[in-house]
């Protein structure tokens, strides 16, 4: 679905404008308009995650020590304990090296419930990195 494009003018302090131009160059944006659209979409996703009770999607990335005793079992137990609250739609497990694994989980559910499972998983000893990427239809 294509909406009508509306043009508008925005004013920025020079220092902020210069930072935007640097970011545009660094990230290879084709235009200021596309950059501003991306910023606005990010804000809308954040707002929806804060305001909705509806289901949203998140992608949780975990990096962990695969030799931490009992860690993987604890991770699985947390996921199974929450199966009635959130759906783990997909999980990808990658061996990074001899000691570390990376797991990406696509999770669907209420934002509060997703955050609860993310907090439990990221707090486990042996989890060295955890980041939730929020997404949803806006």
pLDDT of residue 1: 60
- pLDDT for the residue 82: 87
Q: Are 46 and 58 in contact (CB under 8 A)?
A: no
Cβ atoms of 57 and 135 closer than 8 Å: yes
Residue-range domain boundaries for the chain: 14-51, 56-135
pLDDT at 2: 73
β partners of residue 64: 101, 127
**Whole-angstrom Cα distance, residue 111 to residue 123?**
18
CA distances from 25 to 20, 22, 91, 135 (A): 9, 5, 34, 25
H/E stretch holding 14: helix 14-26
pLDDT at 83: 86
User: What is the CATH T-level fold of the domain 56-135, as seen in this structure?
Assistant: Alpha-Beta Plaits (3.30.70)
* Regions of the chain short of the pLDDT cut 50: none
Percent helix, strand and coil across the chain, each to the nearest 5 = 40, 30, 30
pTM of the model: 0.81
């Amino acid at each position: 679905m294509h909406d009508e494009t509306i043009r508008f003018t925005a004013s920025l302090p020079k220092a902020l404008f210069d930072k935007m131009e640097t970011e545009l160059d660094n990230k290879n944006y084709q235009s200021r308009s596309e950059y501003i659209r991306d910023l606005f979409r990010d804000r809308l996703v954040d707002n929806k995650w804060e305001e909705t009770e509806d289901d949203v999607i998140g992608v949780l990335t975990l990096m962990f020590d695969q030799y931490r005793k009992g860690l993987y079992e604890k991770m699985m137990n947390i996921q199974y304990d929450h199966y009635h609250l959130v759906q783990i739609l997909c999980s990808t497990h990658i061996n990074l090296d001899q000691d570390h694994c990376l797991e990406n989980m696509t999770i669907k559910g209420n934002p509060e419930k997703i955050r609860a499972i993310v907090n439990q998983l990221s707090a486990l000893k042996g989890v060295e990195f955890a980041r939730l990427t929020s997404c949803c239809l806006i």
